Structure 1
Amino acid sequence: MTVADSPARPAESDGAAGPGPKPILDGTRGLPQQIGVYVFVMVPLLALVAAIPLAVGWGLLGWSDVVIGLVFYVVSGLGITVGYHRYFTHGSFKANRPLRIGLAVAGSLAMQGPVIDWVADHRRHHAFSDKEGDPHSPWLHGSGPLGLAKGFWHSHMGWLFDRDQTNEERFTPDLLADTDIRRVDALFGLWSVLTLLVPAGLGALVTWSWQGALTALFWAGLVRVGLLHHVTWSINSICHMWGDRPFAARDRSANVWPLAIASFGESWHNLHHADPTCARHGVKRGQVDISARVIRTFEKLGWATAVRWPTERRLQRIAREA
């Protein structure tokens, strides 16, 4: 039975995991891996910082950069939200083999880590959300101003520099058993190179110039990756500190509407933590959830099946009393 045909893993994905036969952590990163984390985090961040003066002061932003960047933002962003998160982490639907592989590759283009690493960290987050063991809770550093500032930094990006590694054998045995996903995971370096060089190549073809290649590399490559990084990380930080909490979750997860479009619906985070395997996070009227619409399209095409759509009965059960 393949991963696509197997049931979801609720013990890890919905926060029910507790002490088990395998430890939570599995050693620490080696020096080369740690250097890689710093490069993957800091280089796109520096590009974001330089983006405004380059665009305004020097005018180094063309329409081709915007279009290519938008396309890659959508593809890699949905690779994270639909693929890494709702499918691989939580089993919100079943996918056929081409879709499964495609989602793993698309998520890898976001440069947020190999698929198995990402899923292991996120399942661990749900298993211990906002408690000891959560890799990126903002609430484990005190409730005073200094503690909250430290918690925000840690939850947003500080946790990425921790050298502890989540135990994949405990949290992702299903992905470790999937040959296709292990191959995609092992080729993360290749996907990271392609996510920068392909936009550069497209920029060169559109403008027929080296300048077009370089500006596309910068805007559609580095700046796009940096922007998506911080939108994704804002779900860990902002959406666990501020916002509305209409549903009963076991943690401080909240809905933050200004992030809904940029995060493709991930910022309806309170519902997600109240019902982790649900394929739609924005369940109330007016809550735009682009990821859910994409999953619906996959379902209509026959690529996705057994989609876990919300039901009125379930929503009533997890809704907070007025």
Structure 2
Amino acid sequence: MTLPGLGTVAAAIFLWNGWYTATDLWLFAGMYFVHMAGITIGFHRYLAHKSFRTSRFFEGALMISGSMGGQGPIMYWVTTHRRHHRFSDREGDPHSPNLSGDGLGARLRGLWWAHMPWMLSDESSSWRFWAPDVLRDRRLFFYHRTYQLWLLLGLALPALIGFAVERTPMALLTGFLFGGLARMFLANQAAWCVGSLSHMIGGRPFDNGDRSANNWPVAIFTFGEGLQNNHHAFPGSYRHAVRPWEPDLSGWVLTGLGRLRVVWNLRQPDAAAIAARRARKRPAAEPGTN
């Protein structure tokens, strides 16, 4: 993340000095949406959890936009995430913030580990064990093999769009900085808060046997991914929100796409399943009480 980090500093300097146009801000917002939708809808809810089905064309669009996010190739992303669910906040979880011991210092070390350093670990997850379905699919594996191409496209595209709109050489640079590097850095910082902050801080309406929590600020910036307690209670659901007011932009987008028949077979728990899952957390009533 060194280059995106430096690009973010440069974008901040440009922003401070007014060396940007409205096009650059729109490019940042648009590419942030593409980036986050590709990861949250494509890599996460579609590939890792099979929470809906779609056409090969839209599947490809999701794989490309997710790869533009710079969080690693498809096989790496899916195997790591499925392993996280299998061992959530226990030994074997590749990025739990809760395995560093007790005390403030240990918790801060765990938080930092879960946010970024875990990605530098040489530990890997077996493709054949954790994602045989993806490994067998030649079309999906094509997007895995061509990951670097889509990653570079995600950096070049905003620069080219900026130049096409503004018709100045500076627009190439600012489009690259705002829609490319700064977008990648800030969107991924938000995404990594899902594994760190959303497994330490927030509400826990469901007893999942781990420390997954519903963290609303993280959910807002990650299109619903911060609702980790809900997600770990119902990992196969296309929606992370279980109440209408919970922020889950990716869930709302999928609902709309379902009505347009772009996606189908949208999986979600019914009201009875949600109520039953909540009931597991309630303590048993003491003798003689109602």
Q: TM-score, structure 1 length as denominator? A: 0.84
2:254 partner amino acid:
I
Unaligned runs of 5+ in 1: 1-40
Q: 1:160 aligns with which of 119, 124, 127?
A: 119
* Inter-partner Cα distance in structure 2 for 1:241 and 1:191: 33
Of the three residues 48, 53, 57, the one matched with 2:13 is: 53
Compute the displacement of 1:50 (Å): 4.1
> Hey, what's the Cα distance between the residues in 1 that align with 2:113 and 2:9?
20
Letter of the 2:220 partner, please give it: I
Which residue of the other structure, out of 91, 101, 108, is the alignment partner of 1:149? Answer: 108
**Cα distance in 2, alignment partners of residues 288 and 139 from structure 1:** 25
Distance (whole Å) between structure 1 residues aligned to residue 233 and residue 209 of structure 2? 7
Paired with 2:76 and 2:246, the residues of 1 have a C-alpha distance of: 30
User: In the aligned structure 2, how far is the partner of 1:97 from the partner of 1:205?
Assistant: 30
Alpha-carbon distance between aligned partners in 1 of 2:36 and 2:209, rounded to the nearest angstrom: 27
Q: Which of these residues, 32, 41, 44, is aligned with residue 4 of structure 2?
A: 44
Structure 1 vs Structure 2 CA RMSD: 1.3
Q: Confirm or deny that 1:129 pairs with 2:88.
A: yes
Q: Is the 8 A contact 2:52 2:265 kept in 1?
A: yes
Query: Secondary structure at the residue paired with 2:203?
Result: coil
* Equivalences for residues 110-259 of structure 1 within 5 A: 110-259=69-218
The residue type paired with residue 54 of structure 1 is: F
Offset from partner CA, 1:68-114 (integer Å, 9 cap, x none): 11111111110100110011001111222112222111111111111
The TM-score with structure 2 as length reference comes to 0.93
Q: What's the secondary structure of 1:165's corresponding residue?
A: coil
Q: Which amino acid aligns with 1:140?
A: L
2:286 match: none
Q: Is the 8 A contact 2:216 2:227 kept in 1?
A: yes
Matched, 1:90 2:49: yes
State the 1:55 CA deviation.
1.5
Q: Which runs of structure 1 show a deviation greater than 4 angstroms over 4 or more consecutive aligned residues?
A: none
Question: Is the CA contact 1:282–1:288 (under 8 Å) kept in the aligned structure 2?
Answer: yes
How far did residue 302 of structure 1 move?
1.9
Residues paired across the two proteins, number: 281
- In the TM superposition, what is the alpha-carbon distance from 1:245 to its structure 2 partner? 0.5
Partner residue, 1:274 = 233
Structure 2 unmatched runs, 5+ = 284-290
